Amino acid sequence: MTTDETAQEAGAGRDGEAVSRFVEHFASQLVEAGMPRMPSRIFAALLASDSGALTSAELGEQLRVSPAAVSGAVRYLTQQHMVAREREPGTRRDLFRVHSNQWYEALGNRDGVLKRWENALRDGVANLGADSPAGRRLSETLAFFEFVEIELAGMMDRWRVRREELFGKDVT
Protein backbone atom coordinates (compact mmCIF):
# COMPACT_ATOMS: atom_id res chain seq x y z
CA MET A 1 0.00 0.00 0.00
CA THR A 2 1.14 3.53 -0.55
CA THR A 3 1.93 5.65 2.45
CA ASP A 4 -0.94 7.99 1.58
CA GLU A 5 -3.42 5.16 1.11
CA THR A 6 -2.34 3.38 4.28
CA ALA A 7 -2.79 6.66 6.18
CA GLN A 8 -6.20 7.21 4.60
CA GLU A 9 -7.32 3.70 5.44
CA ALA A 10 -5.98 3.97 8.98
CA GLY A 11 -7.89 7.23 9.31
CA ALA A 12 -10.97 5.42 8.08
CA GLY A 13 -10.40 2.66 10.62
CA ARG A 14 -9.20 0.16 8.01
CA ASP A 15 -6.42 -2.35 8.53
CA GLY A 16 -3.94 -2.15 5.65
CA GLU A 17 -2.94 -5.79 6.11
CA ALA A 18 -6.58 -6.86 5.94
CA VAL A 19 -6.95 -4.90 2.71
CA SER A 20 -3.86 -6.62 1.28
CA ARG A 21 -5.21 -10.02 2.27
CA PHE A 22 -8.51 -9.23 0.56
CA VAL A 23 -6.73 -8.09 -2.60
CA GLU A 24 -4.70 -11.30 -2.84
CA HIS A 25 -7.67 -13.53 -1.95
CA PHE A 26 -10.07 -11.92 -4.43
CA ALA A 27 -7.36 -11.85 -7.10
CA SER A 28 -6.83 -15.59 -6.61
CA GLN A 29 -10.56 -16.13 -7.15
CA LEU A 30 -10.42 -14.14 -10.38
CA VAL A 31 -7.39 -16.17 -11.52
CA GLU A 32 -9.23 -19.39 -10.76
CA ALA A 33 -12.05 -18.12 -12.98
CA GLY A 34 -9.63 -17.56 -15.87
CA MET A 35 -8.40 -13.98 -15.55
CA PRO A 36 -4.62 -13.49 -15.79
CA ARG A 37 -2.85 -13.09 -12.44
CA MET A 38 -1.49 -9.54 -12.66
CA PRO A 39 -4.69 -7.96 -14.04
CA SER A 40 -6.55 -9.79 -11.25
CA ARG A 41 -4.31 -8.25 -8.60
CA ILE A 42 -4.55 -4.76 -10.13
CA PHE A 43 -8.32 -4.98 -10.40
CA ALA A 44 -8.70 -6.21 -6.82
CA ALA A 45 -6.41 -3.43 -5.56
CA LEU A 46 -8.49 -0.80 -7.35
CA LEU A 47 -11.71 -2.29 -6.03
CA ALA A 48 -10.35 -2.26 -2.49
CA SER A 49 -9.08 1.32 -2.59
CA ASP A 50 -11.41 3.91 -1.05
CA SER A 51 -11.12 6.21 -4.06
CA GLY A 52 -11.42 3.40 -6.62
CA ALA A 53 -8.47 5.00 -8.42
CA LEU A 54 -4.70 4.64 -8.16
CA THR A 55 -1.71 5.71 -10.22
CA SER A 56 0.65 3.25 -11.82
CA ALA A 57 3.26 4.08 -9.17
CA GLU A 58 0.77 3.49 -6.35
CA LEU A 59 -0.28 0.16 -7.83
CA GLY A 60 3.34 -0.90 -8.27
CA GLU A 61 4.21 0.08 -4.70
CA GLN A 62 1.15 -1.55 -3.16
CA LEU A 63 1.53 -4.81 -5.06
CA ARG A 64 5.35 -4.75 -5.15
CA VAL A 65 5.50 -5.15 -8.92
CA SER A 66 7.36 -3.44 -11.75
CA PRO A 67 5.95 -0.58 -13.82
CA ALA A 68 5.98 -2.92 -16.84
CA ALA A 69 3.79 -5.43 -14.97
CA VAL A 70 1.34 -2.68 -14.05
CA SER A 71 1.29 -1.37 -17.62
CA GLY A 72 0.53 -4.75 -19.17
CA ALA A 73 -2.15 -5.53 -16.61
CA VAL A 74 -3.84 -2.16 -17.01
CA ARG A 75 -3.81 -2.56 -20.80
CA TYR A 76 -5.65 -5.86 -20.40
CA LEU A 77 -8.17 -4.37 -17.94
CA THR A 78 -8.92 -1.35 -20.14
CA GLN A 79 -9.45 -3.64 -23.14
CA GLN A 80 -11.90 -5.65 -21.05
CA HIS A 81 -13.67 -2.40 -20.00
CA MET A 82 -12.96 -3.16 -16.35
CA VAL A 83 -10.97 0.00 -15.61
CA ALA A 84 -10.74 3.44 -17.16
CA ARG A 85 -7.58 5.45 -17.71
CA GLU A 86 -7.81 9.09 -16.67
CA ARG A 87 -5.35 11.92 -16.23
CA GLU A 88 -4.58 12.78 -12.61
CA PRO A 89 -5.69 16.43 -12.20
CA GLY A 90 -2.78 18.84 -12.38
CA THR A 91 -0.23 16.21 -13.43
CA ARG A 92 0.83 14.19 -16.42
CA ARG A 93 0.33 10.92 -14.54
CA ASP A 94 -2.32 8.42 -15.50
CA LEU A 95 -4.89 7.40 -12.94
CA PHE A 96 -6.62 4.05 -13.27
CA ARG A 97 -10.19 3.95 -12.02
CA VAL A 98 -12.68 1.21 -11.40
CA HIS A 99 -16.26 2.45 -11.34
CA SER A 100 -19.00 1.15 -9.10
CA ASN A 101 -20.72 -0.36 -12.14
CA GLN A 102 -17.63 -2.08 -13.60
CA TRP A 103 -19.31 -5.50 -13.83
CA TYR A 104 -22.25 -3.99 -15.70
CA GLU A 105 -19.88 -2.27 -18.13
CA ALA A 106 -17.75 -5.37 -18.62
CA LEU A 107 -20.78 -7.57 -19.30
CA GLY A 108 -22.48 -4.95 -21.45
CA ASN A 109 -19.45 -4.76 -23.70
CA ARG A 110 -19.68 -8.49 -24.38
CA ASP A 111 -22.56 -7.88 -26.78
CA GLY A 112 -20.16 -7.19 -29.64
CA VAL A 113 -18.22 -10.36 -28.88
CA LEU A 114 -21.42 -12.43 -28.88
CA LYS A 115 -22.46 -10.93 -32.22
CA ARG A 116 -19.10 -11.84 -33.79
CA TRP A 117 -19.31 -15.39 -32.41
CA GLU A 118 -22.86 -15.74 -33.71
CA ASN A 119 -21.82 -14.57 -37.19
CA ALA A 120 -18.90 -17.00 -37.24
CA LEU A 121 -21.18 -19.83 -36.12
CA ARG A 122 -23.77 -18.98 -38.82
CA ASP A 123 -20.99 -19.16 -41.41
CA GLY A 124 -19.87 -22.47 -39.93
CA VAL A 125 -23.37 -23.94 -40.13
CA ALA A 126 -23.71 -22.78 -43.74
CA ASN A 127 -20.28 -24.15 -44.72
CA LEU A 128 -20.48 -27.45 -42.82
CA GLY A 129 -24.13 -28.14 -43.56
CA ALA A 130 -26.95 -27.77 -41.04
CA ASP A 131 -27.68 -31.51 -41.20
CA SER A 132 -24.14 -32.69 -40.54
CA PRO A 133 -23.15 -33.62 -36.96
CA ALA A 134 -20.80 -30.62 -36.82
CA GLY A 135 -23.47 -28.33 -38.30
CA ARG A 136 -26.01 -29.46 -35.69
CA ARG A 137 -23.45 -28.87 -32.93
CA LEU A 138 -22.70 -25.39 -34.30
CA SER A 139 -26.45 -24.68 -34.60
CA GLU A 140 -26.96 -25.59 -30.96
CA THR A 141 -24.02 -23.39 -29.94
CA LEU A 142 -25.46 -20.54 -32.03
CA ALA A 143 -28.89 -20.98 -30.43
CA PHE A 144 -27.25 -20.88 -27.00
CA PHE A 145 -25.42 -17.61 -27.73
CA GLU A 146 -28.59 -16.05 -29.18
CA PHE A 147 -30.42 -17.08 -26.01
CA VAL A 148 -27.64 -15.65 -23.81
CA GLU A 149 -27.71 -12.39 -25.75
CA ILE A 150 -31.47 -11.96 -25.22
CA GLU A 151 -31.29 -12.97 -21.57
CA LEU A 152 -28.29 -10.72 -20.94
CA ALA A 153 -30.14 -7.69 -22.35
CA GLY A 154 -33.11 -8.36 -20.06
CA MET A 155 -30.85 -9.02 -17.08
CA MET A 156 -28.99 -5.74 -17.66
CA ASP A 157 -32.28 -3.85 -17.75
CA ARG A 158 -33.39 -5.51 -14.51
CA TRP A 159 -30.04 -4.72 -12.89
CA ARG A 160 -30.32 -1.00 -13.74
CA VAL A 161 -33.67 -0.91 -11.93
CA ARG A 162 -32.39 -2.97 -8.98
CA ARG A 163 -29.21 -0.90 -8.67
CA GLU A 164 -31.24 2.29 -8.49
CA GLU A 165 -33.45 0.72 -5.81
CA LEU A 166 -30.42 -0.30 -3.76
CA PHE A 167 -28.06 2.63 -4.29
CA GLY A 168 -30.08 5.51 -5.70
CA LYS A 169 -29.95 7.28 -9.01
CA ASP A 170 -26.68 9.19 -8.61
CA VAL A 171 -24.32 6.24 -8.20
CA THR A 172 -21.08 6.65 -10.18
Q: Distance between alpha carbon 4 and the CA centroid of its chain, in Å?
A: 25
Distance, in Å, from the CA atom of 62 to the CA atom of 23, rounded to the nearest integer, reads 10
DSSP conformation class of 85: E
Distance, in Å, from the CA atom of 70 to the CA atom of 155, rounded to the nearest integer, reads 33
Q: pLDDT, tens digit, for every residue of 98-113?
A: 977 778 877 777 778 8
Confidence at residue 172, expressed as pLDDT on a 0 to 100 scale: 52
Confidence at residue 11, expressed as pLDDT on a 0 to 100 scale: 40
Q: Which residue type does 108 have?
A: G
User: Within a 10 A sphere around the Cβ of 144, how many other Cβ atoms?
Assistant: 12
Within 8 A by CB and 6+ apart from 75, the residues are none
Q: pLDDT, tens digit, for every residue of 12-24?
A: 567 889 999 999 9
CATH 1.20.120.330 corresponds to the domain 3-98: no
pLDDT band of 164, cuts 50, 70, 90: very high
Find the largest Cα–Cα distance for the chain: 67
Q: pLDDT, tens digit, for every residue of 43-96?
A: 999 999 999 999 999 999 999 999 999 999 999 999 888 899 998 778 888 899
